[in-house]
Amino acid sequence: MTKNIWEKIDSEQELNHEELCSLLAMENAEQLELLYQKADKIRKKYVGDEVHLRGLIEFSNYCRNNCLYCGIRRDNKKIKRYRMQIDEILDTAILAANLGYKTVVLQSGEDMYYTTDKLVELIRFIKKNADVAITLSIGERSYEDYARFFEAGADRYLIRFETSNPELYAKLHPDSSFENRMKILNWLKQIGYQTGSGVMIGLPGQSIEDLARDILKFKELDLDMIGVGPYICHPDTPLAGNPNGTAEMTLKVIALTRIVTKNTHIPATTALATLRPADGREKALKAGANVIMPNVSPIKYREYYELYPNKICIRETERQCNDCIKRRIYSIGRTISKGYGHSLKKKTDNAIAF
Protein backbone atom coordinates (compact mmCIF):
# COMPACT_ATOMS: atom_id res chain seq x y z
CA MET A 1 0.00 0.00 0.00
CA THR A 2 1.48 3.30 -0.97
CA LYS A 3 1.86 5.91 1.71
CA ASN A 4 -0.08 8.25 -0.49
CA ILE A 5 -3.45 6.51 -0.02
CA TRP A 6 -3.17 6.61 3.78
CA GLU A 7 -2.38 10.31 3.57
CA LYS A 8 -5.41 10.85 1.38
CA ILE A 9 -7.59 9.08 3.94
CA ASP A 10 -6.08 11.10 6.81
CA SER A 11 -6.66 14.39 5.03
CA GLU A 12 -10.18 13.26 4.03
CA GLN A 13 -9.59 13.52 0.31
CA GLU A 14 -11.88 11.58 -2.02
CA LEU A 15 -10.74 8.11 -3.01
CA ASN A 16 -11.12 7.05 -6.63
CA HIS A 17 -12.13 3.65 -8.00
CA GLU A 18 -8.59 2.43 -8.43
CA GLU A 19 -7.61 3.40 -4.89
CA LEU A 20 -10.69 1.71 -3.45
CA CYS A 21 -9.82 -1.45 -5.41
CA SER A 22 -6.30 -1.55 -4.02
CA LEU A 23 -7.61 -1.03 -0.47
CA LEU A 24 -10.19 -3.80 -0.96
CA ALA A 25 -7.47 -6.16 -2.23
CA MET A 26 -5.38 -5.61 0.90
CA GLU A 27 -4.77 -8.76 2.97
CA ASN A 28 -1.93 -7.90 5.31
CA ALA A 29 -3.27 -8.07 8.89
CA GLU A 30 -1.45 -4.95 10.09
CA GLN A 31 -2.63 -2.89 7.15
CA LEU A 32 -6.19 -4.09 7.65
CA GLU A 33 -5.99 -3.07 11.29
CA LEU A 34 -4.81 0.35 10.20
CA LEU A 35 -7.74 0.66 7.78
CA TYR A 36 -10.24 -0.25 10.51
CA GLN A 37 -8.62 2.26 12.88
CA LYS A 38 -8.89 5.04 10.35
CA ALA A 39 -12.56 4.21 9.74
CA ASP A 40 -13.14 4.14 13.49
CA LYS A 41 -11.62 7.59 13.85
CA ILE A 42 -13.86 9.01 11.12
CA ARG A 43 -16.86 7.30 12.72
CA LYS A 44 -16.02 8.94 16.05
CA LYS A 45 -15.56 12.36 14.46
CA TYR A 46 -18.76 12.35 12.39
CA VAL A 47 -21.27 10.22 14.30
CA GLY A 48 -19.77 9.91 17.79
CA ASP A 49 -19.65 7.00 20.22
CA GLU A 50 -23.39 6.39 20.46
CA VAL A 51 -24.80 3.21 18.95
CA HIS A 52 -28.38 3.43 17.71
CA LEU A 53 -30.62 0.41 18.28
CA ARG A 54 -33.44 -0.34 15.83
CA GLY A 55 -35.95 -3.03 16.79
CA LEU A 56 -36.49 -5.27 13.76
CA ILE A 57 -39.97 -6.73 13.21
CA GLU A 58 -40.05 -9.35 10.45
CA PHE A 59 -43.80 -9.33 9.94
CA SER A 60 -44.28 -11.57 6.89
CA ASN A 61 -42.11 -14.00 4.96
CA TYR A 62 -44.42 -14.21 1.97
CA CYS A 63 -42.72 -12.82 -1.14
CA ARG A 64 -43.85 -12.38 -4.72
CA ASN A 65 -40.24 -12.30 -5.95
CA ASN A 66 -37.70 -14.93 -6.81
CA CYS A 67 -34.31 -13.36 -6.02
CA LEU A 68 -31.77 -16.11 -6.61
CA TYR A 69 -29.95 -15.75 -3.27
CA CYS A 70 -32.89 -15.38 -0.94
CA GLY A 71 -34.35 -18.11 1.27
CA ILE A 72 -37.86 -16.62 1.28
CA ARG A 73 -38.05 -16.44 -2.53
CA ARG A 74 -41.42 -17.32 -4.05
CA ASP A 75 -40.32 -20.73 -5.37
CA ASN A 76 -38.93 -21.99 -2.08
CA LYS A 77 -41.70 -24.42 -1.19
CA LYS A 78 -39.81 -25.88 1.78
CA ILE A 79 -40.30 -22.86 3.98
CA LYS A 80 -43.33 -22.40 6.23
CA ARG A 81 -44.93 -19.05 5.46
CA TYR A 82 -46.40 -16.72 8.09
CA ARG A 83 -48.04 -13.33 8.30
CA MET A 84 -48.47 -11.25 11.43
CA GLN A 85 -51.79 -9.49 11.81
CA ILE A 86 -51.91 -5.72 12.21
CA ASP A 87 -52.69 -5.81 15.95
CA GLU A 88 -49.88 -8.30 16.52
CA ILE A 89 -47.41 -6.04 14.68
CA LEU A 90 -48.62 -3.10 16.74
CA ASP A 91 -48.14 -5.06 20.00
CA THR A 92 -44.62 -5.97 18.90
CA ALA A 93 -43.84 -2.33 18.15
CA ILE A 94 -45.05 -1.36 21.63
CA LEU A 95 -42.88 -4.08 23.13
CA ALA A 96 -39.89 -2.72 21.18
CA ALA A 97 -40.60 0.77 22.54
CA ASN A 98 -40.82 -0.66 26.08
CA LEU A 99 -37.38 -2.22 25.61
CA GLY A 100 -36.14 1.30 24.92
CA TYR A 101 -35.82 1.13 21.16
CA LYS A 102 -36.59 4.48 19.54
CA THR A 103 -36.98 3.02 16.05
CA VAL A 104 -38.90 0.04 14.76
CA VAL A 105 -38.02 -1.44 11.38
CA LEU A 106 -40.98 -3.10 9.70
CA GLN A 107 -39.57 -5.65 7.28
CA SER A 108 -41.20 -8.32 5.10
CA GLY A 109 -41.02 -10.04 1.77
CA GLU A 110 -42.90 -8.26 -1.02
CA ASP A 111 -46.30 -9.30 0.28
CA MET A 112 -49.27 -7.56 -1.32
CA TYR A 113 -51.60 -9.03 1.31
CA TYR A 114 -50.68 -5.86 3.17
CA THR A 115 -52.52 -3.35 1.05
CA THR A 116 -51.60 0.32 1.05
CA ASP A 117 -54.60 1.05 3.30
CA LYS A 118 -53.63 -1.65 5.82
CA LEU A 119 -50.06 -0.38 6.04
CA VAL A 120 -51.18 3.24 6.35
CA GLU A 121 -53.41 2.21 9.24
CA LEU A 122 -50.55 0.27 10.85
CA ILE A 123 -48.14 3.21 10.57
CA ARG A 124 -50.72 5.57 12.12
CA PHE A 125 -51.45 3.09 14.95
CA ILE A 126 -47.78 2.71 15.79
CA LYS A 127 -47.15 6.45 15.73
CA LYS A 128 -50.12 7.00 18.00
CA ASN A 129 -49.28 4.27 20.50
CA ALA A 130 -45.49 4.17 20.67
CA ASP A 131 -42.82 6.83 20.81
CA VAL A 132 -40.73 5.47 17.95
CA ALA A 133 -39.47 6.41 14.52
CA ILE A 134 -40.65 4.02 11.80
CA THR A 135 -38.45 2.49 9.14
CA LEU A 136 -40.09 0.50 6.35
CA SER A 137 -38.30 -2.29 4.51
CA ILE A 138 -40.96 -3.89 2.36
CA GLY A 139 -39.52 -3.72 -1.13
CA GLU A 140 -40.79 -2.24 -4.35
CA ARG A 141 -44.10 -0.38 -4.38
CA SER A 142 -45.55 2.51 -6.39
CA TYR A 143 -44.63 6.17 -5.91
CA GLU A 144 -48.14 6.80 -4.55
CA ASP A 145 -47.74 4.04 -1.96
CA TYR A 146 -44.42 5.43 -0.75
CA ALA A 147 -45.93 8.92 -0.55
CA ARG A 148 -48.92 7.66 1.46
CA PHE A 149 -46.72 5.74 3.91
CA PHE A 150 -44.66 8.89 4.43
CA GLU A 151 -47.76 11.01 4.96
CA ALA A 152 -48.98 8.46 7.50
CA GLY A 153 -45.81 9.00 9.50
CA ALA A 154 -43.12 6.62 8.21
CA ASP A 155 -39.74 8.29 8.65
CA ARG A 156 -37.31 6.07 6.82
CA TYR A 157 -37.15 3.51 4.05
CA LEU A 158 -34.59 0.77 3.46
CA ILE A 159 -34.15 -0.79 0.06
CA ARG A 160 -30.77 -2.22 -0.85
CA PHE A 161 -29.51 -2.09 -4.43
CA GLU A 162 -27.60 -5.30 -3.60
CA THR A 163 -24.91 -4.71 -6.28
CA SER A 164 -24.05 -1.74 -8.47
CA ASN A 165 -23.24 -4.06 -11.36
CA PRO A 166 -26.42 -3.94 -13.51
CA GLU A 167 -25.67 -7.23 -15.31
CA LEU A 168 -25.10 -9.06 -12.03
CA TYR A 169 -28.22 -7.37 -10.64
CA ALA A 170 -30.24 -8.68 -13.58
CA LYS A 171 -28.93 -12.24 -13.15
CA LEU A 172 -29.86 -12.29 -9.46
CA HIS A 173 -33.24 -10.58 -9.71
CA PRO A 174 -35.66 -12.07 -12.24
CA ASP A 175 -38.41 -9.67 -11.11
CA SER A 176 -36.69 -6.31 -11.02
CA SER A 177 -34.01 -4.18 -12.64
CA PHE A 178 -31.15 -2.08 -11.35
CA GLU A 179 -32.61 0.89 -13.18
CA ASN A 180 -35.90 0.56 -11.36
CA ARG A 181 -34.14 0.23 -8.01
CA MET A 182 -32.32 3.50 -8.69
CA LYS A 183 -35.59 5.16 -9.68
CA ILE A 184 -37.16 4.04 -6.41
CA LEU A 185 -34.23 5.31 -4.34
CA ASN A 186 -34.64 8.70 -5.99
CA TRP A 187 -38.39 8.72 -5.34
CA LEU A 188 -37.85 7.95 -1.67
CA LYS A 189 -35.41 10.82 -1.28
CA GLN A 190 -37.74 13.12 -3.19
CA ILE A 191 -40.69 12.22 -0.95
CA GLY A 192 -38.59 13.10 2.08
CA TYR A 193 -37.69 9.74 3.57
CA GLN A 194 -34.39 9.20 5.31
CA THR A 195 -33.25 6.69 2.77
CA GLY A 196 -31.15 3.58 3.27
CA SER A 197 -29.67 1.15 0.84
CA GLY A 198 -26.87 -1.38 0.79
CA VAL A 199 -25.25 -4.38 -0.78
CA MET A 200 -24.24 -7.96 -0.14
CA ILE A 201 -20.58 -8.92 -0.12
CA GLY A 202 -19.34 -12.03 -1.92
CA LEU A 203 -22.24 -12.60 -4.30
CA PRO A 204 -21.38 -15.22 -6.93
CA GLY A 205 -19.82 -13.39 -9.86
CA GLN A 206 -19.11 -10.17 -7.91
CA SER A 207 -15.64 -8.65 -8.26
CA ILE A 208 -13.56 -6.24 -6.17
CA GLU A 209 -14.12 -3.68 -8.92
CA ASP A 210 -17.88 -4.08 -8.37
CA LEU A 211 -17.47 -3.53 -4.62
CA ALA A 212 -15.43 -0.37 -5.20
CA ARG A 213 -18.23 0.89 -7.46
CA ASP A 214 -20.80 -0.01 -4.77
CA ILE A 215 -18.99 2.30 -2.34
CA LEU A 216 -18.85 5.12 -4.86
CA LYS A 217 -22.55 4.58 -5.55
CA PHE A 218 -23.35 4.99 -1.82
CA LYS A 219 -21.66 8.37 -1.95
CA GLU A 220 -23.31 9.42 -5.20
CA LEU A 221 -26.77 8.55 -3.87
CA ASP A 222 -26.09 10.60 -0.73
CA LEU A 223 -27.73 7.93 1.42
CA ASP A 224 -28.63 8.36 5.07
CA MET A 225 -28.16 4.69 5.98
CA ILE A 226 -26.02 1.98 4.41
CA GLY A 227 -26.30 -1.73 5.21
CA VAL A 228 -23.44 -4.00 4.22
CA GLY A 229 -23.56 -7.72 4.98
CA PRO A 230 -21.99 -10.90 3.65
CA TYR A 231 -23.88 -13.06 1.18
CA ILE A 232 -24.71 -16.33 2.96
CA CYS A 233 -25.55 -19.24 0.74
CA HIS A 234 -29.00 -20.78 1.22
CA PRO A 235 -29.28 -24.46 0.22
CA ASP A 236 -32.88 -24.13 -1.01
CA THR A 237 -32.09 -21.54 -3.69
CA PRO A 238 -30.69 -21.78 -7.22
CA LEU A 239 -27.36 -20.50 -5.84
CA ALA A 240 -26.95 -23.54 -3.54
CA GLY A 241 -23.34 -24.67 -3.31
CA ASN A 242 -21.75 -21.25 -3.77
CA PRO A 243 -19.29 -19.98 -1.16
CA ASN A 244 -20.37 -17.41 1.44
CA GLY A 245 -18.98 -13.91 1.43
CA THR A 246 -16.24 -13.41 4.01
CA ALA A 247 -16.30 -11.43 7.23
CA GLU A 248 -13.02 -9.83 6.27
CA MET A 249 -14.23 -8.42 2.95
CA THR A 250 -17.42 -7.25 4.67
CA LEU A 251 -15.39 -5.35 7.26
CA LYS A 252 -13.24 -3.77 4.55
CA VAL A 253 -16.35 -2.53 2.74
CA ILE A 254 -17.85 -1.23 6.01
CA ALA A 255 -14.61 0.62 6.82
CA LEU A 256 -14.34 2.15 3.36
CA THR A 257 -18.03 3.05 3.33
CA ARG A 258 -17.47 5.00 6.54
CA ILE A 259 -14.32 6.64 5.17
CA VAL A 260 -16.05 7.65 1.94
CA THR A 261 -19.54 8.60 3.21
CA LYS A 262 -18.55 10.07 6.62
CA ASN A 263 -21.82 10.90 8.45
CA THR A 264 -24.09 8.01 7.45
CA HIS A 265 -25.71 5.43 9.72
CA ILE A 266 -24.04 2.05 9.16
CA PRO A 267 -25.35 -1.08 10.91
CA ALA A 268 -23.31 -4.00 12.17
CA THR A 269 -25.52 -6.45 10.28
CA THR A 270 -27.09 -9.67 11.50
CA ALA A 271 -25.62 -11.48 8.48
CA LEU A 272 -22.11 -10.55 9.61
CA ALA A 273 -22.93 -11.67 13.16
CA THR A 274 -24.18 -14.95 11.69
CA LEU A 275 -20.78 -15.55 10.05
CA ARG A 276 -18.94 -14.48 13.21
CA PRO A 277 -21.32 -14.89 16.18
CA ALA A 278 -18.57 -14.35 18.76
CA ASP A 279 -17.37 -10.95 17.61
CA GLY A 280 -18.80 -9.94 14.21
CA ARG A 281 -20.82 -7.02 15.56
CA GLU A 282 -18.01 -5.75 17.79
CA LYS A 283 -15.60 -5.87 14.86
CA ALA A 284 -18.03 -3.95 12.65
CA LEU A 285 -18.62 -1.33 15.37
CA LYS A 286 -14.86 -0.89 15.58
CA ALA A 287 -14.48 -0.58 11.81
CA GLY A 288 -17.00 2.18 11.13
CA ALA A 289 -20.46 0.90 12.09
CA ASN A 290 -22.75 2.77 14.55
CA VAL A 291 -26.11 0.96 14.44
CA ILE A 292 -27.42 -2.46 15.54
CA MET A 293 -30.80 -3.90 14.65
CA PRO A 294 -31.88 -6.35 17.37
CA ASN A 295 -34.61 -8.77 16.38
CA VAL A 296 -37.92 -8.20 18.19
CA SER A 297 -40.09 -10.49 16.05
CA PRO A 298 -42.17 -12.94 18.11
CA ILE A 299 -40.00 -16.04 18.64
CA LYS A 300 -42.55 -18.38 17.07
CA TYR A 301 -41.94 -16.77 13.67
CA ARG A 302 -38.22 -16.16 13.78
CA GLU A 303 -36.95 -19.41 12.27
CA TYR A 304 -39.19 -18.91 9.25
CA TYR A 305 -37.73 -15.54 8.26
CA GLU A 306 -34.82 -17.43 6.82
CA LEU A 307 -33.20 -15.17 4.21
CA TYR A 308 -30.07 -17.25 4.83
CA PRO A 309 -29.38 -20.29 7.03
CA ASN A 310 -28.11 -20.40 10.64
CA LYS A 311 -29.36 -16.92 11.42
CA ILE A 312 -28.54 -15.89 14.98
CA CYS A 313 -31.12 -15.14 17.68
CA ILE A 314 -33.72 -17.67 16.57
CA ARG A 315 -34.42 -18.85 20.11
CA GLU A 316 -33.42 -15.86 22.24
CA THR A 317 -36.18 -13.67 23.65
CA GLU A 318 -36.40 -9.96 22.86
CA ARG A 319 -35.11 -9.30 26.37
CA GLN A 320 -32.12 -11.66 25.95
CA CYS A 321 -31.12 -10.05 22.65
CA ASN A 322 -31.47 -6.63 24.23
CA ASP A 323 -29.17 -7.62 27.14
CA CYS A 324 -26.70 -9.33 24.81
CA ILE A 325 -26.40 -6.34 22.54
CA LYS A 326 -26.05 -3.83 25.36
CA ARG A 327 -23.29 -5.93 26.93
CA ARG A 328 -21.44 -6.11 23.60
CA ILE A 329 -21.69 -2.36 23.05
CA TYR A 330 -20.49 -1.48 26.55
CA SER A 331 -17.68 -4.07 26.32
CA ILE A 332 -16.02 -2.04 23.58
CA GLY A 333 -16.45 1.28 25.37
CA ARG A 334 -19.37 2.60 23.36
CA THR A 335 -22.67 4.03 24.57
CA ILE A 336 -26.30 3.52 23.59
CA SER A 337 -28.23 6.39 22.09
CA LYS A 338 -31.41 7.51 23.83
CA GLY A 339 -32.59 9.48 20.80
CA TYR A 340 -34.32 8.45 17.60
CA GLY A 341 -31.08 8.30 15.68
CA HIS A 342 -32.42 10.26 12.73
CA SER A 343 -30.29 11.04 9.72
CA LEU A 344 -27.36 13.29 10.43
CA LYS A 345 -27.72 14.82 6.99
CA LYS A 346 -31.15 16.35 7.06
CA LYS A 347 -34.25 16.67 9.15
CA THR A 348 -37.34 15.58 7.29
CA ASP A 349 -40.85 16.76 8.15
CA ASN A 350 -41.66 13.47 9.81
CA ALA A 351 -38.42 13.51 11.76
CA ILE A 352 -39.29 16.96 13.15
CA ALA A 353 -42.94 16.16 13.85
CA PHE A 354 -42.18 13.01 15.83
Tell me which stretch binds ligand FES (CB under 6 A): 67-75, 243-251, 298-306, 320-328: 320-328
Instruction: Give the residue with the Cβ less far from ligand 5AD, 9 or 199.
Output: 199
The Cα 206–Cα 146 span in angstroms is 31
Among 47, 105, 321, 329, binds ligand FES (CB under 6 A): 321
Beta strand spans in the chain (E): 50-53, 55-60, 103-108, 133-137, 156-158, 194-201, 225-230, 291-292, 335-336
Residue nearest to ligand FES (CB): 324
Residue 281 Cβ vs ligand FES, minimum distance, rounded to whole Å: 8
Among 218, 313, 340, 348, binds ligand FES (CB under 6 A): 313
Tell me which stretch binds ligand FES (CB under 6 A): 198-206, 241-249, 316-324, 346-354: 316-324
Residue 338 Cβ vs ligand FES, minimum distance, rounded to whole Å: 20
Which partner from the list ligand 5AD, ligand FES, none does 320 bind, CB cut-off 5 to 8 Å by kind?
A: ligand FES
The Cα 135–Cα 197 span in angstroms is 12
Give, as ranges, the residues between 91 and 130 that touch ligand FES (CB under 6 A): none
3-state SS, one letter per residue, for 170-215: HHHCCCCCHHHHHHHHHHHHHHCCEEEEEEEECCCCCCHHHHHHHH
The Cα 271–Cα 282 span in angstroms is 13
Q: Residues 301, 16: contact at Cβ < 8 Å?
A: no
Query: In terms of C-beta density within 10 A (0-12 exposed, 13-18 middle, 19 or more buried), how is residue 345 classed?
Result: middle
Nearest to 254 by CA among 42, 10, 5: 42
Which partner from the list ligand FES, ligand 5AD, none does 271 bind, CB cut-off 5 to 8 Å by kind?
A: ligand 5AD
Among 294, 334, 337, 340, binds ligand FES (CB under 6 A): 294
Amino acid in position 219: K
Give, as ranges, the residues between 1 and 60 that touch ligand FES (CB under 6 A): none
Q: How far is CA 149 from the centre of its chain?
A: 20
Instruction: Give the residue with the Cβ less far from ligand FES, 170 or 324.
Output: 324
Among 120, 299, 324, 351, binds ligand FES (CB under 6 A): 324
Q: Which residues bind ligand FES (CB under 6 A)?
A: 294, 313, 316, 320-321, 324-325
